[in-house]
Structure 1
Amino acid sequence: MKIVKQTFLVATLALATISCKNDKETSTEAIVVETETIATENPKTITANPQTASFEIEGMTCQIGCASLIEGKLKKLDGVTEAKVDFETKTATVTYDADKLNQEKLTKTVEGVAGGDLYKVSKVKS
């Protein structure tokens, strides 16, 4: 009976050691796959020619309907890496790839929101 218990103990330890080793390999593979997925899902994080523009937006009347809407439109532009519209100060700050966008395109995008009659961009700075 003593030999059976010892054999069982050795087999259990061997199984635990093997399964722990496999868990570590799986975890490493999962991290690599997750990192690759993040890099391919968010290609906007790398820009060849980064620029930042800030400007005032006239015509905003509310945080959710105006500022958030404009911010969302700016973020969707190809080449924009970051966009922030501050309702309190009526300003926008946009970081973008100058090889893909320019200030004129940013201005036209903001002024074109909601049919083009509500918002006016002024005091554009780089």
Structure 2
Amino acid sequence: MKFSKVVLVLALSIFSLSSCKQAAKKEVEAPKKVLAQNPQSVSLSISGMTCEIGCAKLIQSKLSKKEGVKMAKVIFKDSTATVAFDANTISKKEIIGFIDGIADGELYKATELTAEK
């Protein structure tokens, strides 16, 4: 019984090591095309948030995972969000639409804040 466990552990170890090497090799063979980045940021007003954890943190988390978004900070107290993004990947309009679509589009409404002069 002990011998079969040793063989099983050894087989799993070899399998794990060989699969990691193959995955690494595939990444080296197909380098990703890198486009020049166009960093921008936008300040947004978000209506419909009722709590810090369930609303603000949810929006911030979802934005942070969105392709092209480099950083997202949602402040519940001020009902605002600041989003740093790559304009070559995503636009302000797409970010606003993404926020509006969270929770099936029934809760949140984002609008761009304009700088006061």
Q: TM-score, normalized by length of structure 2?
A: 0.65
Number of residue pairs aligned between Structure 1 and Structure 2: 80
Structure 2: any 5+ residue segments left out of the alignment?
A: 1-35
Where in structure 2 are the equivalents of 1:93-104 lying within 5 Å? Answer: 93-104=82-93
Percent identity (aligned) = 45
Residues 125, 106 of structure 1: alpha-carbon distance in 2 compared, 3 angstrom cutoff: farther
Q: TM-score, normalized by length of structure 1?
A: 0.60
Deviation at 1:104, TM superposition (A): 0.9
One-letter code aligned to 1:117 = E
One-letter code aligned to 1:77 = K
One-letter code aligned to 2:74 = V
Residue 59, structure 1, aligned to residue 44, structure 2: no
- Deviations along 1:3-27, one digit per CA (max 9) or x if unpaired, are xxxxxxxxxxxxxxxxxxxxxxxxx
SS for the counterpart of 1:48 is: coil
Deviation at 1:125, TM superposition (A): 4.5
SS for the counterpart of 1:57 is: strand
Deviation at 1:118, TM superposition (A): 0.5
Partners in 1 of 2:113 and 2:63 — Cα distance? 15
Partners in 2 of 1:125 and 1:109 — Cα distance? 19
Residues 78, 125 of structure 1: alpha-carbon distance in 2 compared, 3 angstrom cutoff: farther
Structure 1: any 5+ residue segments left out of the alignment?
A: 1-46
One-letter code aligned to 1:75 = S
- Deviations along 1:62-117, one digit per CA (max 9) or x if unpaired, are 00000000001111111111000000000000000000000111011101111101
User: Residue 103 of structure 2 aligns with which residue?
Assistant: 114
| Structure with the larger helix share | 1
Q: Is the 8 A contact 2:46 2:109 kept in 1?
A: yes
